[in-house]
């Protein structure tokens, strides 16, 4: 890789698995840093090598627990105080993204708060993937490179060679995302309409469209408890679908999500490795986005366009 200014890649504790893959793709070594924990649960971040005048890329998804976010903030602050030329937060999974607006009185807008925290800590740029809401990019006053997992998923979908493929969205909010896949693959689309009593609890679901005799592919960005996804899959099979698969960018997979997937009619559930998935399930397949992020880092260093990476 050729660049006039040196770059270094570092990682927080829980995203090291992905950072190592990114560095392998870039042909560089993962930088050395130390996260030191104290008896009361407090921790500090320090770089074990000089980063003065370097482009510093910090790989850390902000999935639960909040320690991952705090690690990232301390890493950013330490890099700023160590005279890094630029600090780029590489956040494959941007947590709190579901809190992007006031959907009822007297609630916080978590996504905006996290954007403020990252900016105040000192990032020069954010690289992230499949935000829950596109408008979150506008919460930042620094450049945001918003990548799409479709660059990885598209080839896998084609390799399935499903004869009667139809795209589905598990809720009305994902219509735009599912529509983009349907248009790219030149196949029809159906919508699942759901009503919630409260968060993570569905009171009613129905399908808008015809799935009888079709091979359904549900498109989503996040799977948390898997209640929506598995209920949609079972409902489609009950209405005559040949098979139901699902792809989702981020595997939050809070309990009892894995059990629900195993017990559902889903033939397969495909994720990226933006969040580590350690549980075992024969129905779950994980595709890596390391090469896509490595390519983005290289393009940022060389001031090249990233938009050509977008497939859908």
Structure tokens at 138: 């506008």
Are 42 and 71 contacting, i.e. CB atoms less than 8 angstroms apart?
no
Query: Collapsing DSSP states into helix, strand and coil, what is residue 154?
Result: helix
Separation CA 10–CA 8 (nearest Å):
7
What φ, ψ does residue 262 adopt, rounded to 5°? -60, -35
Measured at the alpha carbon of residue 17, what is the angle toward residues 13 and 20, in degrees to the nearest 5? 105
- Helix 175-185 crosses helix 150-160 at what angle (to 10 degrees)? 50
| The two structure tokens encoding residue 144 | 């945001």
Establish whether 231 is a catalytic residue.
no
Residue 63 tokens, joined: 């999935």
DSSP strand E in 21-97: where? 33-37, 43-47, 55-59, 86-91
In this structure, the strands spanning 86-91 and 125-129 are parallel
Catalytic residue chosen out of the listed positions 194, 212, 283, 285 = 194
Q: Kindly list the catalytic residues.
A: 194
């Amino acid at each position: 890789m050729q660049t006039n200014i040196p770059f270094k890649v570092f990682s927080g504790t829980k995203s090291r698995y992905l950072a190592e893959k990114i560095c392998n793709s870039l042909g560089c070594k993962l930088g050395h840093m130390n996260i030191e924990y104290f008896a009361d649960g407090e921790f500090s971040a320090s770089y074990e090598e000089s980063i003065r005048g370097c482009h510093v890329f910090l790989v850390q998804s902000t999935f639960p627990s909040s320690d991952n976010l705090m690690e990232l903030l301390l890493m950013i602050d330490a890099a700023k105080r160590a005279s890094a030329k630029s600090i780029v937060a590489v956040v494959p999974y941007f947590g709190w993204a579901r809190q992007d607006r006031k959907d009822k009185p007297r609630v916080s807008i978590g996504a905006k708060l996290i954007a403020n925290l990252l900016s105040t800590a000192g990032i020069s740029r954010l690289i992230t993937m499949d935000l829950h809401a596109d408008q979150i990019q506008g919460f930042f006053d620094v450049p945001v490179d918003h990548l799409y997992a479709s660059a990885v998923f598209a080839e896998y979908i084609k390799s399935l060679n499903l004869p009667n493929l139809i795209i589905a969205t598990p809720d009305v909010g994902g219509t735009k995302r599912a529509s983009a896949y349907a248009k790219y693959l030149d196949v029809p689309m159906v919508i699942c309409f759901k009503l919630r009593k409260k968060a993570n609890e569905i009171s009613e679901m129905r399908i808008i469209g015809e799935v009888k005799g079709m091979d359904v592919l549900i498109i989503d960005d996040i799977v948390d408890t898997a209640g929506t996804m598995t209920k949609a899959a079972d409902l489609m099979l009950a209405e005559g679908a040949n098979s139901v698969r699902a792809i989702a960018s981020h595997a939050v997979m809070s309990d009892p999500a894995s059990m629900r997937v195993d017990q559902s009619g889903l033939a397969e559930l495909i994720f990226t490795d933006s969040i580590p998935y350690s549980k075992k399930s024969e129905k779950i397949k994980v595709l890596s986005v390391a090469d896509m992020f490595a390519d983005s880092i290289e393009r940022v260093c060389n001031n090249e366009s990233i938009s050509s990476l977008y497939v859908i």
